[in-house]
């Protein structure tokens, strides 16, 4: 444990680097997935290829992708940019399907009435569809955020600095404190980001308070009623 | 014979579904529990096969208190038909019907043979046997539900709004078929519904329930239709507004004259001595 | 691009695949790890998940556990266990199981919960015992989601098993890390391509299994649900953790 106290600076620094690698990937994944999802819903022939394609990306393991990407985009294996791109791809793989389904789930009634009120197609997308799909999109972003933060560390075996470096160093030099610090910081970082996303969701979508906790409870109620 | 002895049901959250309810359903007759949603009729029905345990009182089948009978064994000798059929979507129609015989240990071949007999009884084409429930119409699914309820040849059949989700024309047809089947098989049936016409068509005995399982009225269809004393009952049955499609008028001879909504006489029910003294 | 051409050329030589350290042996090792870890995870998490789904008890704890597992860094877990167990297969196996079990668990309880309560109710009313309801109704009808959980777990294991070589075990990570240490990029790249293909292959096997399941008319329900009634399928994605590659 003394190792941790002596190396608080390093841990703090690596935490920031870790964030700098993972957060851009989350933002990119979110921003790119929305238009892709929109295309998937609008142009039905493209729907299956797009969703299956991005789904397939999801099957690709991270380390091999970290190694393959430089050959495709011309970065070096140890380039942080390489990691950001790879994480964005994973985020996209997770996000596109859930975004497409979230946007698709906005009922026709709501869309028709919005059009009837006089929204333009673009205006309707931002004011109605995107807002109503918000809760489901948020759920997707939360998953992407947490898994990105956890995935970054793998790149440490290639020599990219992040909290993962605490694992490689700790393992090489037999310091349990280093590895423990890395694990705890990664989990704490993921939890804080997740919490911030939930709070942001409540601010942006006040109508959806506690949506995540209501659903199972509703279900339980229904089951009880069915049993009664 | 099924007997409810002052049964009550209070849920852990404090809501009371049924209070102090008593009823005797003679063997080989049909009792209809009639009431709007929340009156506790389904709760009462489900006490008979121990899907719901009464908080107070007891339920007896042929003089035997069922609280001492193992629930699973009890359910296997009581047929149960529910709204939306509740069929197993991943099993073929014939295997759905054969569920209970199979549970009771019949061989697959025997159970299927029994299944096909039942399909004939409820008026289903044997060709449908190898389909999956999702490939049948709503009315056909309900017939399968009835066939499944009858598969183990139970003495008792519990029916929970079995025809509630099918369109009106099919519903009338299913009611007619059920009446025919009952004529033939003579089961003891408890039938839950909120459809007054259905109750009048099928019930030997009808119990009209208010909220909390309180009995507003009970009797034969004819007795109920001539009952204009209780305001709740006449309002519920639509006797006050004349909206009821059938109405009964007592003639001077003590017979009941049944008329339709336009007042055209349809037929006469002979006098019933036990209640001749009532107005 | 030159590197890719070179890597593919290497992959096409017989030398790359033969011998005790060849890609063939390493691939089989990799698949072996995957099967063993998946088997152990399933043996632990399937019964538990089914029980949680069937009884509804312990659901809260399961949700928290699967959520936490999502945040757990694979490399950290692997190196931590390895410091205690030493170099070899134990550390990777422990890590793989810890990472994969939550996915299996989530798939199992989500699968059982996805079954229409009315169907379960009707099955009970026909006189099925709790065990019969589970084995004849809930498991077959929940199978699509149960399989999704196993599929996700398999992918996580294949990905993480690549790291097993980092703590001294075998598998395809072996040539990959050799290439890394010796600056042999084509070797790293070629091996990476094999790992990716292996993962896609396993994914495809599960995908085919799920498609075959969907052919059974009774199981097609949720997939073909009309617009606006897809809550179950979305819940399933939410329930599935996506960590640890």
Spatial neighbors of C224 by CB under 8 A, at least 6 apart, are none
How many domains is chain A partitioned into structurally?
Answer: 1
Q: Which long-range contacts (CB under 8 A, 24 or more apart) does C164-168 make?
A: C164/C33, C164/C78, C164/C89, C164/C92, C164/C96, C166/A157, C166/A171, C166/C75, C166/C78, C166/C79, C167/A171, C167/C78, C167/C79, C167/C82, C167/C87, C167/C88, C167/C91, C167/C92, C168/C82, C168/C87, C168/C88
Q: Tell me the nearest-neighbour CA distance from B247 into chain C, angstroms.
A: 37
Q: For residue B69, how many other CB atoms are within 10 A of its CB?
A: 15
Spatial neighbors of C102 by CB under 8 A, at least 6 apart, are C45, C65, C66, C69, C70, C241
Section B25-33 average pLDDT: 92
C202 with C154: CB under 8 angstroms? Answer: yes
Q: Cα(B190)–Cα(B48) distance, rounded to whole angstroms?
A: 9
Look at residues A105, A90, A14, A88 and name the one whose alpha carbon lies nearest to residue A59.
Answer: A90
Nearest to C122 among B72, B86, B132 (CB): B86
Radius of gyration of chain C (CA): 21
Residue numbers of the domain that contains A40: 2-227
Residue ranges covered by each domain of chain B: 1-77+155-213, 88-148, 227-279
Half-sphere exposure of A152 (CA within 13 A, CB side): 38
The verdict on a CB contact (< 8 Å) between A179 and C191 is no
What are the C-alpha distances in Å from A46 to residues A53, A59, A136, C41? 10, 20, 22, 37
Nearest to C137 among B77, B88, B134 (CB): B88
The verdict on a CB contact (< 8 Å) between C121 and B86 is yes
Q: Cα(B169)–Cα(B184) distance, rounded to whole angstroms?
A: 23
Interface of C with A in 116-135 (CB under 8 A): 117-118, 121
Kindly list the residues from chain A whose CB atom is less than 8 angstroms away from the CB atom of residue B213.
Answer: none
pLDDT for A216 equals: 41
The per-residue pLDDT for range B6-21, each reduced to its tens digit, is 999 988 888 888 888 8
Tokens (6 digits) for A119: 């929204």
pLDDT for A118 equals: 75
Kindly list the residues from chain B whose CB atom is less than 8 angstroms away from the CB atom of residue C141.
Answer: 88-90
Q: How confident is the model at residue B247 (pLDDT cuts 50, 70, 90)?
A: low
Spatial neighbors of A151 by CB under 8 A, at least 6 apart, are A22, A62, A87, A90, C73, C243, C245
Q: Cα(B97)–Cα(B111) distance, rounded to whole angstroms?
A: 8
The verdict on a CB contact (< 8 Å) between A227 and B17 is no
Mutate to test the interface with A, among C169, C228, C242, C244 (most CBs of A within 10 A): C242
pLDDT for C3 equals: 79
Partners of B189 in beta bridges: B30, B157
Task: Determine whether B75 is exposed, middle or buried from the number of CB atoms within 10 Å of its CB (0-12, 13-18, 19+).
Answer: buried
C119 with B86: CB under 8 angstroms? Answer: yes
- DSSP label at residue C172: T
- CATH number of the domain within which A30 lies: 1.10.3720.10
What are the C-alpha distances in Å from B134 to residues B85, B144, C135? 11, 12, 21
The verdict on a CB contact (< 8 Å) between C71 and A170 is no
The per-residue pLDDT for range B55-78, each reduced to its tens digit, is 999 999 999 999 999 999 999 999
Partners of chain C (3+ Cβ pairs below 8 A): A, B
In chain C, which stretches have pLDDT less than 70?
1, 217-245
Partners of chain B (3+ Cβ pairs below 8 A): A, C
Partners of C223 in beta bridges: none
pLDDT for C223 equals: 34
Q: Which long-range contacts (CB under 8 A, 24 or more apart) does B221-227 make?
A: B222/B248, B222/B256, B222/B258, B222/B269, B222/B272, B223/B272, B223/B275, B224/B200, B225/B200, B225/B256, B225/B258, B226/B250, B226/B256
Could you give the dihedral angle defined by the CA atoms of residues A28, A30, A35 and A41, in that order, rounded to the nearest 10 degrees? 150
In CATH terms, the fold of domain C2-239 is: MetI-like fold (1.10.3720)
B82 inside 8 A of chain A by CB: no
pLDDT for B196 equals: 87
Is the pTM for the entire model greater than 0.95?
Answer: no
In CATH terms, the fold of domain B1-77+155-213 is: Rossmann fold (3.40.50)
The verdict on a CB contact (< 8 Å) between C221 and B103 is no
Mutate to test the interface with A, among C5, C69, C79, C125 (most CBs of A within 10 A): C79
C45 with C105: CB under 8 angstroms? Answer: yes
Mutate to test the interface with B, among C218, C226, C232 (most CBs of B within 10 A): C218
Q: Cα(C98)–Cα(C35) distance, rounded to whole angstroms?
A: 15
C168 inside 8 A of chain B by CB: no
pLDDT one digit per residue (tens) for chain A, 228 residues = 678 878 888 888 899 999 999 999 999 999 999 999 888 888 888 888 888 888 788 888 888 888 888 888 888 888 889 899 999 998 998 888 888 888 887 777 777 787 777 777 777 777 777 888 888 888 889 989 998 999 899 999 888 889 999 999 988 888 888 999 999 999 999 999 999 999 998 888 877 654 444 344 444 444 444 443
Kindly list the residues from chain B whose CB atom is less than 8 angstroms away from the CB atom of residue A217.
Answer: none
Which H helix or E strand runs over A77? none
Burial C208-223 (b: 16+ CB within 10 A, else e): eebeebeeebbbbbbe
The verdict on a CB contact (< 8 Å) between B86 and C128 is no
Size of interface B-C (CB pairs under 8 A): 73
Partners of B30 in beta bridges: B189
The per-residue pLDDT for range B131-188, each reduced to its tens digit, is 999 889 888 999 999 999 998 889 999 999 988 888 888 888 889 989 998 988 899 9
Mutate to test the interface with C, among A15, A56, A71 (most CBs of C within 10 A): A71
Q: Cα(A221)–Cα(C174) distance, rounded to whole angstroms?
A: 52
ipTM higher than threshold 0.95: no
Nearest to C125 among B77, B80, B84 (CB): B80
């Amino acid at each position: 444990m003394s190792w941790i106290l002596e190396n608080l600076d390093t841990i703090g620094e690596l935490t920031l680097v870790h964030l700098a690698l993972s957060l851009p990937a989350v933002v990119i994944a979110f921003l790119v997935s929305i238009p892709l999802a929109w295309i998937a819903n609008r142009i039905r022939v493209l729907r299956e290829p797009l969703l299956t394609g991005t789904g397939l990306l999801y099957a690709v393991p991270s380390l091999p992708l970290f190694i393959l990407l430089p050959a495709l985009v011309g970065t070096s294996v140890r380039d942080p940019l390489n990691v950001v791109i790879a994480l964005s791809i994973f985020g996209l793989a997770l996000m596109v399907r859930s975004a497409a389904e979230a946007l698709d789930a906005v009922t026709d009634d709501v869309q028709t009435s919005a059009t009837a009120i006089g929204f333009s197609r673009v205006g309707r997308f931002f004011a109605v569809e995107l807002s109503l799909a918000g809760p489901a999109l948020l759920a997707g972003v939360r998953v992407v955020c947490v898994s990105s933060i956890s995935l970054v560390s793998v790149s440490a075996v290639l020599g990219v600095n992040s909290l993962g470096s605490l694992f490689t160093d700790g393992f090489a030099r037999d310091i349990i404190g280093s590895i423990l610090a890395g694990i705890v910081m990664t989990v704490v970082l993921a939890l804080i980001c997740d919490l911030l996303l939930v709070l942001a969701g409540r601010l942006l979508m006040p109508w959806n308070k506690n949506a995540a906790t209501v659903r199972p409870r509703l279900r339980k109620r229904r089951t009880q009623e069915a049993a009664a | 014979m099924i007997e409810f002895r002052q049964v009550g049901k209070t849920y852990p959250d404090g809501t009371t579904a049924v209070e102090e309810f008593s009823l005797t359903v003679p063997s080989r007759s049909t009792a209809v529990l009639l009431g709007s949603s929340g009156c506790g009729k389904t709760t009462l029905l489900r006490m008979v096969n121990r899907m719901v345990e009464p908080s107070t009182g007891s339920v007896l089948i042929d003089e035997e208190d069922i609280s001492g009978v193992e629930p699973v064994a009890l359910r296997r000798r009581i047929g149960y038909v529910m709204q939306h059929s509740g069929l197993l979507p991943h099993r073929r129609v014939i295997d759905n019907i054969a569920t209970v015989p199979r549970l009771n240990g019949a061989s697959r071949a025997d159970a299927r043979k029994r299944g096909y007999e039942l399909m004939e009884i409820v008026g289903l084409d044997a060709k449908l046997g190898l389909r999956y429930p999702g490939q049948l119409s709503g009315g056909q699914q309900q017939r399968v539900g009835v066939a499944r309820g009858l598969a183990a040849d139970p003495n008792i059949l519990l029916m929970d709004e079995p025809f509630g989700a099918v369109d009106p024309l099919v519903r009338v047809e299913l009611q007619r078929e059920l009446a025919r089947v009952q004529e033939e098989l003579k089961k003891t049936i408890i039938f839950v519904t909120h459809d007054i016409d259905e109750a009048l068509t099928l019930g030997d005995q009808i119990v009209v329930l208010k909220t909390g399982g309180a009995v507003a009225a009970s009797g034969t269809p004819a007795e109920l239709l001539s009952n204009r004393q209780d305001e709740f009952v006449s309002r519920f049955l639509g006797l006050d507004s004349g909206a009821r499609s059938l109405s009964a008028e007592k003639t001077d001879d003590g017979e009941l004259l049944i008329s339709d909504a336009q007042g055209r006489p349809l037929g006469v029910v002979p006098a019933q001595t036990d209640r001749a003294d009532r107005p | 691009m030159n590197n890719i051409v070179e890597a593919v050329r290497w992959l096409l030589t017989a030398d790359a695949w033969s011998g005790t350290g060849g890609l063939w042996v390493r691939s089989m090792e990799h698949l072996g790890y995957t099967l063993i870890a998946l088997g152990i995870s399933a043996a632990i998490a399937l019964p538990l998940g089914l029980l949680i789904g069937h009884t509804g008890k312990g659901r809260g704890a399961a949700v928290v556990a699967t959520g936490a597992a999502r945040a757990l860094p694979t490399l950290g877990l692997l190196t931590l266990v390895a410091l205690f167990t030493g170099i070899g297969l134990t550390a990777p196996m422990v890590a793989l199981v810890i990472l994969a079990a939550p996915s299996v668990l989530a798939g199992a309880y989500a699968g059982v919960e996805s079954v229409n309560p009315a169907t379960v109710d009707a099955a009970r009313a026909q006189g099925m015992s709790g065990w019969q309801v589970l084995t004849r109704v809930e498991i077959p009808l929940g199978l699509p989601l149960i399989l999704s959980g196993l599929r996700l777990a398999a992918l996580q294991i294949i990905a993480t098993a690549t790291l097993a070589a980092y703590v001294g075990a075998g598998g395809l990570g072996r040539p990959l890390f050799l290439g890394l240490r010796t600056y042999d990029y084509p070797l790293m790249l070629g091996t990476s391509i094999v790992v990716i293909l292996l993962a896609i292959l396993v994914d495809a096997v599960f995908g085919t299994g799920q498609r075959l399941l969907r052919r059974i008319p009774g199981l097609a329900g949720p997939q073909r649900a009309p617009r606006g009634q897809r809550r179950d399928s979305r819940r399933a994605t939410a329930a599935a953790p996506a960590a640890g590659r």
